[in-house]
Amino acid sequence: MADKSNTMWGGRFAAGPDAIMEAINASIGFDKRMARQDIEGSRAHAAMLAATGIITDSDADAIREGLLTVLSEIESGTFEFSTALEDIHMNVESRLKDLIGEPAGRLHTARSRNDQVATDFKLWVRDQMDAAIEGIEALMRAFLVQAEAGADWVMPGFTHLQTAQPVTWGHHMMAYVEMLGRDLSRFKDARVRMNESPLGGAALAGTSFPIDRHMTAQALGFDRPTANSLDSTADRDFALEFLSASSICAMHLSRFAEELVIWSSAQFRFVVLSDRFSTGSSIMPQKKNPDAAELIRAKIGRILGATVSLFTVMKGLPLTYSKDMQEDKEQVFDASDSLMLSLAAMEGMVSDLTANIPVLEAAAGSGFSTATDLADWLVRELNMPFRDAHHVTGTLVALAESKGCDLPDLTLEDMQNVSAGITQGVFDVLGVHNSVNSRQSYGGTAPDQVRARIADWKEVLK
């Protein structure tokens, strides 16, 4: 298809735009990604026009077959996109006219590019919602495998990146399952809310033709048509919700990526990353760099940037359509690419992840991690007020620190010199395994609780 000046405008403009205007006005460089959705929407629209008697069946048949040919050319890479024709909609319509002649001109009856682009974009975003849901579920399953394998493994739990209390590996993995579960619900919820068809809103006021918007909505997999023609063309909430949910999800991925960077370091040695998701150094032969984790950690910047960008584009626009809204797509395309790649890479990393169990267990007992268990024992067994127990435990921690040992290494006499009522039973709570097994409250780190949550999520993700 030869490049041509845009004659689709009819008689209103005598001359086409100059090169600068053409460059700033054209969106075909990026919105060609919506070609399949554009053709899908046009086929539904043409079928409806024929069913309502607005165009003839023969014209609808020609349009349908012509659109399939156009789609085939695009998918095979033989279609020549024209910047002069501005966008995917006019590129498709122009090529359709080359193929079938006069019937192509009837396709745009009772439709505007305003509701057309809103429909195309919504269909594209809906597809990405589905892809995100699938990717999140796959990653959750990878975390569940890790959690089930390590439901009994002990490791340090952190606050302020300082050792706080012992937890289980499974419990830590399940924390990310819970986070991703919320991400999953956000995408699913947003998908339900967005699933209304803008097609038929026309330029902004609807149309005088006797169209059947419910027919086109059903054909395109929407639950219903949108209820206000102004909102139909002005709305980009669906894209903003996709970006917002993507930003939160990417933030969760970034947090675990940061943990992987820390845990795989020589100073921690908590985990070993597979060679598939690591790289070497060009000068230091001993290095194994967690590049995939670092790149996932950085993706939140692009995705959150896209979110802020689209909010900024939309915030000052009066109803209904303004050309500003052409700037809605590139950010969403880029954010979607970043999220899908991050989800896939993280799934691979989690699936390949090897925990260094002895190192985790040794670290779990460091930093007086069972001090809270000691304080709880004093409250429970000696009926000591918690604030007093906190003070006694702090004194015992200081004593152990001065002796260069951990709390379980203190003698009973050492402890009784601080608080006479302490008995031999205190040592039953000071080991890290005893500590995690005692955390039986709902949602706690005890292996039984972890396994219960694994079973719950397996049922959800069936």
Q: Buried (b) or exposed (e) across 151-189, using 16+ Cβ within 10 A? A: bbbbbbbbeeeebebbbbbbbbbbbbbebbbebbebbbe
Please check whether residue 238 is in contact with residue 122, taking contact to mean a CB–CB distance below 8 angstroms: yes
pLDDT score at 286? 55
Amino acid identity of 57? D
Whether the ω angle into residue 7 lies within 30 degrees of 0, i.e. cis, is no
Cα–Cα distance, 124 to 134 (Å, whole number): 16
Catalytic residue among 5, 185, 265, 281: 281
Cα–Cα distance, 28 to 446 (Å, whole number): 56
Structure tokens of 32?
């060609």
HEC string of 288-347? CECHHHHHHHHHHHHHHHHHHHHHHHHCCCCCCCCHHHHHHHHHHHHHHHHHHHHHHHHH
Please check whether residue 422 is in contact with residue 415, taking contact to mean a CB–CB distance below 8 angstroms: yes
Q: How far apart are the first and last CA of the chain?
A: 49
Digit-by-digit pLDDT tens for the chain (462 residues) are: 444 455 555 555 555 567 787 778 788 888 899 999 999 999 999 999 999 999 999 999 999 999 999 999 999 999 999 988 889 999 999 999 999 999 999 999 999 999 999 999 999 999 999 999 999 999 999 999 999 999 999 999 999 999 888 999 999 999 999 999 999 999 999 999 999 999 999 999 999 999 999 999 999 999 999 999 999 999 999 999 999 999 999 999 999 999 999 999 999 999 999 888 876 655 554 557 889 999 999 999 999 999 999 999 999 999 999 999 999 999 999 999 999 999 999 999 999 999 999 999 999 988 788 888 889 999 999 999 999 999 999 999 999 999 998 888 899 999 999 999 999 988 888 889 988 998 899 999 999 999 999 999 999 999
Q: How many helices (H) and strands (E) does the chain have?
A: 18, 6
Catalytic residue among 160, 208, 282, 402: 160
pLDDT score at 14? 57
pLDDT score at 153? 98
- Scan for tokens 């682009």, then name that residue: 117
Q: Helix or strand or coil: residue 348? A: helix
Specify the length of the chain in residues.
462
Can you say whether residue 37 is alpha, beta or left, with left for phi > 0 and alpha for psi between -120 and 50 degrees? alpha
pLDDT score at 24? 84
pLDDT score at 3? 46
Cα–Cα distance, 431 to 408 (Å, whole number): 7
Cα–Cα distance, 11 to 37 (Å, whole number): 29
The pairing of strands 271-272 and 354-355 is antiparallel
The closest of 161, 201, 302, 186 to 241, measured between CA atoms, is: 186
Please check whether residue 36 is in contact with residue 71, taking contact to mean a CB–CB distance below 8 angstroms: yes
pLDDT score at 13? 57
How many other CB atoms are there within 10 angstroms of residue 301's CB atom? 12
Handedness of CA 301, 306, 309, 315 (dihedral sign): negative
pLDDT score at 213? 98
pLDDT score at 284? 55
Cα distances (Å, whole numbers) of residue 79 to 4, 44, 72, 74, 333: 14, 22, 9, 5, 21
What is Dmax (Cα atoms) for the chain?
Answer: 100
CA atoms within 13 A of residue 294's CA, in its CB half-sphere: 10
Structure tokens of 179?
């986070």
Phi, psi of 162 (to 5 degrees): -110, 145
Cα distances (Å, whole numbers) of residue 446 to 144, 270, 371, 458: 16, 20, 17, 19
pLDDT score at 285? 47
Is residue 435 annotated as part of the catalytic site, yes or no?
no
How many other CB atoms are there within 10 angstroms of residue 71's CB atom? 19
Cα–Cα distance, 46 to 40 (Å, whole number): 10
pLDDT score at 28? 83
Is the full-model pTM beyond 0.85? yes
Cα–Cα distance, 244 to 310 (Å, whole number): 10
Handedness of CA 122, 127, 130, 136 (dihedral sign): negative
pLDDT score at 29? 84
Is residue 281 annotated as part of the catalytic site, yes or no?
yes
Please check whether residue 256 is in contact with residue 347, taking contact to mean a CB–CB distance below 8 angstroms: no
